[in-house]
Structure 1
Amino acid sequence: MERGSSKHSPRVDEQMSQEVSGLVQGPGTGGSRVDEFRQPEPAGEDQPEATTAPAGELRTGSPQGMSSTDVEQRSRLGRFITMTALPGDREALVANARDNDAPDDLVAALEGLPPGTRYQTVSEVWAALGHRNETTRW
């Protein structure tokens, strides 16, 4: 016994199945994502062409006081300093960064930190390296 939908006829079920097959199974299996109704409309005569990367900052919503480049660089630093190294001093941070295969430029920057100072967060390390963190809004 074949089980069908109780809401549609078998013909409507088949039609609906074919409409979404390109989305469910991908191209080349009968349906296609290149159906005319799926293609975006071109820009109008008085409108600029759409681009994949807008001009200016690559990341929107950067915190106040930091550029998107600062955010990316601080994030890069944070990828190589794990939570097990914090709180920690220069020696612990350098050892942790080396254990995590940090690039030489990051290890050299960490080696330049003053000895005897303990850092609680990556943001504190970032500031000690001479960079700016986000400013707090009051």
Structure 2
Amino acid sequence: MERVSNKHGTRLDEEMKQEVRGNVQGIAGGRAEEWKTPEPAGEDQPEASRVPDMDNHADLTRFGRYIGLSSMPGDRAGLRRGAEILGAPDDVLADLDRLPEGVVFHTVTEIWAALGRGAAERLPQ
């Protein structure tokens, strides 16, 4: 025996079921209150999603992916070997080749600073 609500009737039950279908099944475009919808930024307001220096941070993050922790601390040759193992692209390998010979780097930011792209947390020894 199927339980059915007698409160509204079959037609109204089906309408109500369709109204909440997006929320129940996770489909985009479900019913939502107007106050929950975010407003776009005004013409005189800055873009909210833009983060200052995001491009520089993204470059450092991309570069750091190819500097393995097992290579640190390390000199130019050790860092390049580690980057080759991690499949670094040619531009990252070229940057590592530009590093000064005989200097041991302890962090990625030290390497980044030695390439002239940012400040280091501590100076390489």
TM, length-normalised to structure 2 = 0.65
CA–CA distance in 1 between the matches of 2:90 and 2:61? Answer: 16
Matched, 1:76 2:57: no
TM, length-normalised to structure 1 = 0.59
Q: Which has the higher contact order (CA 8 A, sep 6+)?
A: 1
Contact 1:119–1:125 (8 Å) recurs in 2: yes
Counterpart code for 1:33: G
* C-alpha distance after superposition, 1:79-122 (max 9, x if no partner): 11121111111111111111111110110110111111110000
Count of matched residue pairs: 112
Q: Which residue in the other structure is 1:5 paired with?
A: none
What percentage of residue pairs aligned between the two structures are identical?
35
1:1-138, aligned counterparts within 5 Å?
A: 20-27=20-27, 33-35=29-31, 37=33, 40=37, 47-48=42-43, 54=47, 59-60=50-51, 62=52, 67-133=53-119
| Deviation for aligned residue 1:71 | 1.1
| Deviation for aligned residue 1:131 | 1.2
SS in 1 for 2:109: helix
CA–CA distance in 2 between the matches of 1:117 and 1:104? Answer: 22
4+ residue segments displaced more than 3 Å: 14-21, 34-43
User: CA-atom RMSD, angstroms?
Assistant: 3.9
Gaps of 5+ in 1: 1-8
Gaps of 5+ in 2: 8-12
SS in 1 for 2:65: helix
